[in-house]
Structure 1
Amino acid sequence: MINRLLSLLVIAWALGFVWFAVALPQPAGDEHTDAIVVPTGAEGRIPHGLALLRAGRAERMLVTGVDIEVRPAEFMAEYGVERQLMDCCITLGFSALDTRGNARETADWMAQNRFTSLRLVTSDWHMRRTAVELASRLPATVTVLRDAVPTQPSFITLVREYHKLLAAWLLSLV
């Protein structure tokens, strides 16, 4: 009996991993949201968020999980951000250290600004876990548009992220 249960768990894990690795989330369309939220991390996230902000897909952008050593002027220089855009529309969030912290920081920022919709910009392999963490902290009235940045993740990255997703999902059930 125990061998059958273990076999069933292994099969479920393997099928789930295949789904996770083969069906990575995709970029979103041109929909408008109140805000854009970009967790720091893999390449391409912040430039994509800035391009969306400049294209008018949202009024404001939060970059969550910024290192406390980074200053706005350094951010502006690194990403070619104009002073006017930085002053009006971009918030650098310094309190998050991980994906859970990104979700907390995002939920606080959304509530402070009374936003009801956000475009989540993160790597395709990171999107599902980030969305799970956000869903556990945002009110059900907040709409989240998932906008994945396409990547070429390694097998190891996919395995690690799949396990982190499973853990986040299990914790969300508690």
Structure 2
Amino acid sequence: MFRRAFSAAVLIWALGFVWFAFALPEPASPVETDAVVVPTGGGGRIAQGIAVLDAGLADHLLVSGVDREVKPGEFAAQFGVDEAQLECCITLGFAAVDTRSNASETAKWVEDNEVRSLRLVTTDWHMRRAAGELSRTLPNGVTVVRDAVPSEPSFANLFLEYHKLLASWAAGLIGL
């Protein structure tokens, strides 16, 4: 009996990993939202968030998890943002240090700015976990559009992220 249950669990785990690795989320279609949120951490995320803002698909951008050492002027120079756009439309969030705290920082910003719809921009392999953490913290009624930045993750990166996703789901189930 134990051997069958163990075998079934391993099979489910393996099939889940195959699904996770080969069915990565994709970029969103051009739809307007109140805001765009980008958790830092992966290449192309911030550039995609700024592109969404520049295209007029959102009025505001939150970059969550910015290193405390980064100055707004440095950010603007690195990403080609002018001072006026930085002041009116881009918020640099310095409170987050991981995916869970990105979600908390985002939820507070969404509530403070009365955001009703947002576009989450993150790397394809990170999207499921980031969206899951965000869904547990956002106020009710906020629509989230998932906009994945395509990447070419390594097997090791996929393997690690799959297990982080499983841990995140488990934590959500037990209310952590």
**Shorter chain as normaliser: what TM range?**
over 0.9
Paired residues, number: 174
Runs of 5+ consecutive residues of structure 2 not aligned to the other structure: none
Q: Which amino acid aligns with 1:137?
A: T
TM-score in terms of structure 1 length: 0.99
Q: Aligned partners of 2:46, 2:135: CA distance in 1, in Å?
A: 22
Secondary structure of 1:96 counterpart: coil
Deviation at 1:99, TM superposition (A): 0.2
Q: Which amino acid aligns with 1:3?
A: R
Q: Which amino acid aligns with 2:15?
A: L
TM-score in terms of structure 2 length: 0.98
Q: Which amino acid aligns with 2:168?
A: A
Structure 1 partner of 2:124: 124
Task: Kindly provide the CA deviation profile for residues 20-57 of structure 1, in whole angstroms up to 9, marking residues without a partner as x.
Answer: 00000000011000000000011100001001100001
Q: Are the aligned partners of 2:76 and 2:83 in contact in 1 as well (CA < 8 Å)?
A: yes
Instruction: Please say if 1:32 is aligned against 2:47.
Output: no
Structure 2 partner of 1:151: 151
Task: Kindly provide the CA deviation profile for residues 128-149 of structure 1, in whole angstroms up to 9, marking residues without a partner as x.
Answer: 0001100110123010000000
Q: Aligned partners of 1:150, 1:17: CA distance in 2, in Å?
A: 18
Q: Are the aligned partners of 2:44 and 2:149 in contact in 1 as well (CA < 8 Å)?
A: yes
Instruction: Please say if 1:94 is aligned against 2:112.
Output: no
Q: Aligned partners of 2:166, 2:3: CA distance in 1, in Å?
A: 22
Deviation at 1:173, TM superposition (A): 1.1
Query: RMSD between aligned alpha carbons?
Result: 0.5
Q: Aligned partners of 1:90, 1:42: CA distance in 2, in Å?
A: 19
Q: Which amino acid aligns with 2:16?
A: G
Secondary structure of 2:36 counterpart: strand
Runs of 5+ consecutive residues of structure 1 not aligned to the other structure: none
Q: What is the percentage of aligned positions where both structures have the same residue?
A: 60
